[in-house]
Amino acid sequence: EPEVTQTPSHQVTQMGQEVILRCVPISNHLYFYWYRQILGQKVEFLVSFYNNEISEKSEIFDDQFSVERPDGSNFTLKIRSTKLEDSAMYFCASSGLGTGIGETQYFGPGTRLLVL
């Protein structure tokens, strides 16, 4: 069964450093997302991406964040200058064989980011 994959599974970085989280969405999906979950809290939407551009972004997704689809398979989230409060589990998701509106989103296993 096709699945979303993410690398690395764990990332430890120093405050102020740049990190890139990588995702390979399900191959024929058209819509891609990033969510984060701070330990013990709810899953929060960061950004959605379709047709090589951002569709929507949340207040969390400020200028420190960026997304890119550098090739036909990868989808990346970059945090330019990490802060302590960026420590969280980051989930990539994909959906959309049709309109993508309200369709099921399938989640990857996540990258646990720890900022020291």
| Residues near other proteins, by CB under 8 A | 31, 33, 35, 41-45, 48, 50, 55-56, 58, 91, 99-110
Distance in Å, CB of 16 to other proteins, minimum = 27
Q: Considering beta carbons, is residue 65 or 106 the nearer one to other proteins?
A: 106
Long-range contacts of the stretch 103-108 (C-beta < 8 A, 24+)? 103/31, 105/31, 105/33, 106/3, 106/4, 106/26, 106/29, 107/4, 107/35, 108/3, 108/4, 108/5, 108/6, 108/23
* Nearer to other proteins among residue 31 and residue 75 (C-beta): 31
Q: Which is nearer to other proteins, 14 or 41 (CB)?
A: 41
Smallest distance from the beta carbon of 106 to other proteins, in angstroms? 7
Smallest distance, other proteins to C-beta of residue 34, A: 10
Q: Which is nearer to other proteins, 14 or 99 (CB)?
A: 99
> 27 Cβ partners below 8 Å, 6+ apart?
2, 73
CA pair distance 3, 97, nearest whole angstrom:
14
